[in-house]
Structure 1
Amino acid sequence: MAEVVLDGITKRYGDTLALKDVSMTVPDGAFVVLLGPTGAGKTTTLRMVSGLDVPEGGDVRIGGQSMRGLSPAQRNVAMVFQQYSLYPHLTVRENLAFPLKSPLLRTPQAQIDMKVAEVAEVLQIAHKLDNKATALSGGEMQRVSIGRALVRRPSVYLMDEPLSSLDAKLRADLRIELKRIQATSGATLLYVTHDQIEAMTMATHVGVLDRGRLVQFGTPREIYEDPVSVYAASRLGLPRINILPADLFGRAPDGAAQIGLRPEQIRQGEGTDASVRRVERLGDQTRLHLTIRDHDIVTVTDAHTTLESGDIVKIRPERAFYFDAAGARIA
C-alpha cells in the first residue's frame, strides 16, 4: 500500500471549475472518505488519482512518486465505479478472475481460484459464481464490481459510491466487511459517498469538499466536534445540526450571525420555552421536533418520554458552535 498526496490539484471542464488548488495527504493504510453534494468534486478527485483525467495544475504522488505522464495501468490502482463495470458475456467467476489474469501480474491459477473464492464468500455471491453477469440483480452486479477490485493488491483502492445501489441490510453488512478488509490488509482506500453513516463508521479521515475546494480534512470525530464552517458541520450528524439566529437564546459572541446546535448540545428542562411540534419515536431514541419563535429545532430525548405534540419544554444551548455571516466558525 502507499501514501497518496494531492498537491495543489486544479481541474476545469470547459468553463466549469471542478477542483481548485486541492491539497490533501491520504496516509499509508488510511480509509479516507470524500464527502460533499453532487458537483463538489469528489469523483473528479478520484479521477485525478486514477489517471483517468489529468490535472491542469498541481501534482499527484503515490508512494512518493509523481504520477505525471503515467497511465492508469502504470499507477497500480483499482477503481470501483458507481455504475457496474462488468463484462456481460463472462460469468461472475470470470469477471472476478479477470484482473488477476493480467500479463503484468502473472498470477498462478491456484492463487486466482483461492482469491476468487475468498472474495465471493465475503461479498455473499459464492452461489452465483457460475452465473453470467447479465443474470444478476443490480445489487449483485455491484458486489461483483467491488470484488474485482478486492481480488487485487494495488497501491490504492478508489471507490466511487460502491454501496449506493444495495439494500439497507446488505449495505450495513458490507460497511463492516469493507472496513474489516481494509483494516486487516492495511490497504490505502479513497472512498466517495453521500452517506454520512458510511463516513462516520468506516473512515479514518474525512475530506469535506465544496464546489471543488477542500473545506476541511480530519478524523470524523474532529469534523463532528470541531467544524470550521456551517457547511462542514452540516456534512456529518443525524439529526442534522440546527442552524439558527445567533441571538435566539440571548446574547451571542461578537461577530456571530448563526448558532449551530447538535442534538447533544441542547439541554432540556431549563432555559427558553419551545413548543413540541412532533414526536418521532425510533425505538432506541425519540426525536423531538420543536418550534421556538418560529424557528424549527430537532433534538433527541429519552426513548420513553411522555412528551406529546403541543407540550412545552424548556431548552438551552450547551457548548454551541457560533458562525459569522459568511458561515465561518468563530471562537
Structure 2
Amino acid sequence: MAEIALTQVSKRFGAVKAVDDVSLTIADGEFVVLLGPTGAGKTTTLRLVAGLETPDDGRVFIGGVDVTGLPPAARDVTFVFQQYSLYPHLTVFDNLAFPLRSPTRRTPEDEIKRTVREVARLLRIEDKLGNRATQLSGGQMQRVAIGRALVRRPAIYLMDEPLSSLDAKLRSELRIELKRIQQDLGATMLYVTHDQTEAMTLASRIGVIHQGRLVQIGSPRSIYEDPADIYVATRLGSPGINLLPRALFPDVAAPTEAVTIGVRTEHLAIARACTGAVTGKVNWIERLGDQNHLHIDVNQRQIVSLVDPDEGLGVGDEVAVSLRKPLFFAADGQRVR
C-alpha cells in the first residue's frame, strides 16, 4: 500500500475550474471519502490520481514518487466505476481473473486460481464463480466489479460511487462488506460519493468538496460536530441541520458576528409550552419506530427535532423549544465561535 499526496492541484475544462488548488494527503491504509454534490469535482480529483486526467497545475505523488506525468498503467492503482463494467460473456471467475491475465501482469494460473478464490471468499461470492456475469443480481455484479480491483492488490484503490446504482438494502450490506474488506487488507482507499451515509459509515476521514475546492477534511465526527461553514454543516445530517435567524432565539448567548444559528435535530430540546420560553406548534410527526421527528412551526420558521416516541406530543400541541450545542454562522456563511 502507499500514501497519496496532492499538492496544489488544479484542473480546468474550458472556463470551468473543476478542481481548484486542492492539497490532500492520504496516509497508507487510510479510507478517505470525498463528499459533495454532482459537479463538485470529486470524480475529476479521482481521475487525476488515476492518471486519466492531467492537472493544469500542481503535482500528484503516490508512495512518495511524483507520478504527475505517468500514464495510468504505471501508477499501480485500480479504479472501480459507478457502473459494473463487467464482461457479460465471461464467468465470474474469468471476470475476476482478467486483470491477472493481462500481458503487463501475466500471473501463473495456479496463483490466479488461489487469488480469485480468496477474493471471492472475501466478497462472499465463491458459489457464483461458474456463473456468467449476466446471471447475477445487481449486488453480486457490483461485488465482482469490486473484486476485480481487489485481485490486483495495487498500491491504491480508487472508487467512484460504486454503490449508487444499488437499492437501499444492498447499499447498506455492501457498505459493511467494503469497510470490513478494507480493514482486513489494510488497503489505502480514496472513495467519492454524494451520499452522506456512505461517507459517515466508511471513512477514516471525510473531505468535503464544493465547486472544486476542498472546504474541510477531518474525521466523520469532527465534520459533523464542528463544520467550518454552512455548506459543510448542510452536507451531513438527516434530516438536515436547522438554520435559523439569530433573532429567533434572542436569549441564546452568541458571538456578535452571528446572523444564523445552526442546530442539529438531536440538539433541540422540546417540551410542552411554558411561560417565557420560545414556543412553537407541532405541524407534523414522522414516526420512525425508535424515534420521532417533530416538524414544528416557530414564528413561521420550520424546525425539525428528534424526540423519543414516548414523549406524548401530538399534532397541534404547543411546545417550548430550547437549544443545546448551537452552531453560529456569520453573514458570509463562515463559522463563528
Gaps of 5+ in 2: none
Contact between 1:258 and 1:322, CA under 8 Å: does it hold in 2?
yes
Contact between 2:231 and 2:333, CA under 8 Å: does it hold in 1?
yes
Distance across 1 between alignment mates of 2:266 and 2:88: 50
1:285 aligns to 2:287 (yes or no): no
Moved more, 90-99 or 163-172: 163-172
Moved more, 43-52 or 275-284: 275-284
Contact between 2:224 and 2:236, CA under 8 Å: does it hold in 1?
yes
- The equivalences for 1:168-187 within 5 A come to 168-187=168-187
1:303 aligns to 2:309 (yes or no): yes
1:314 aligns to 2:320 (yes or no): yes
- The equivalences for 1:242-257 within 5 A come to 242-250=242-250, 252-257=254-259
Distance across 2 between alignment mates of 1:158 and 1:246: 42
Please state how far the C-alpha of 1:122 moved relative to its aligned partner. Answer: 3.6
User: For residue 260 of structure 2, what is the aligned residue in structure 1?
Assistant: 258
Q: Deviations over 1:211-231 (max 9, x none)?
A: 101100111111111100000
Please state how far the C-alpha of 1:2 moved relative to its aligned partner. Answer: 0.7
Moved more, 13-22 or 131-140: 131-140
Distance across 1 between alignment mates of 2:196 and 2:322: 27
Please state how far the C-alpha of 1:69 moved relative to its aligned partner. Answer: 1.7
Q: Deviations over 1:4-43 (max 9, x none)?
A: 0010110011121101101111111100000000000000
Distance across 1 between alignment mates of 2:140 and 2:186: 26
3-state DSSP of counterpart to 2:105: coil
User: For residue 71 of structure 1, what is the aligned residue in structure 2?
Assistant: 71
3-state DSSP of counterpart to 1:118: helix
Q: Deviations over 1:254-284 (max 9, x none)?
A: 1112110012221223731111111111112
- The equivalences for 1:46-61 within 5 A come to 46-61=46-61
Task: Name the CA shift for 1:168/1:123 in 2 (closer, same or farther; >3 Å).
Answer: farther
**Given the alignment, which residue of 244, 258, 279 partners 1:273?**
279
Q: Deviations over 1:34-87 (max 9, x none)?
A: 000000000000000000000000011011011122111100001000122222
> How many residues get paired?
331
Q: Deviations over 1:88-129 (max 9, x none)?
A: 322221111111223443433223222222333443433332
Q: Deviations over 1:140-191 (max 9, x none)?
A: 3322211111222101000011111222222222111111111121110000
Distance across 2 between alignment mates of 1:212 and 1:110: 45
Gaps of 5+ in 1: none
CA RMSD across the alignment: 1.5
3-state DSSP of counterpart to 1:147: helix
Paired AA for residue 95 in structure 2: N
TM-score, scaled relative to structure 2: 0.94
Distance across 1 between alignment mates of 2:172 and 2:222: 23
Distance across 2 between alignment mates of 1:6 and 1:228: 21
Task: Name the CA shift for 1:121/1:165 in 2 (closer, same or farther; >3 Å).
Answer: farther
Distance across 2 between alignment mates of 1:171 and 1:297: 30
3-state DSSP of counterpart to 2:182: helix
Contact between 1:286 and 1:305, CA under 8 Å: does it hold in 2?
no
Contact between 1:229 and 1:323, CA under 8 Å: does it hold in 2?
yes
User: For residue 88 of structure 2, what is the aligned residue in structure 1?
Assistant: 88
User: For residue 120 of structure 1, what is the aligned residue in structure 2?
Assistant: 120
Distance across 1 between alignment mates of 2:305 and 2:118: 44
User: For residue 140 of structure 2, what is the aligned residue in structure 1?
Assistant: 140
Contact between 2:266 and 2:307, CA under 8 Å: does it hold in 1?
no
Distance across 1 between alignment mates of 2:267 and 2:62: 41
Contact between 1:139 and 1:165, CA under 8 Å: does it hold in 2?
no
Paired AA for residue 278 in structure 2: T
3-state DSSP of counterpart to 1:237: coil
Please state how far the C-alpha of 1:245 moved relative to its aligned partner. Answer: 0.8
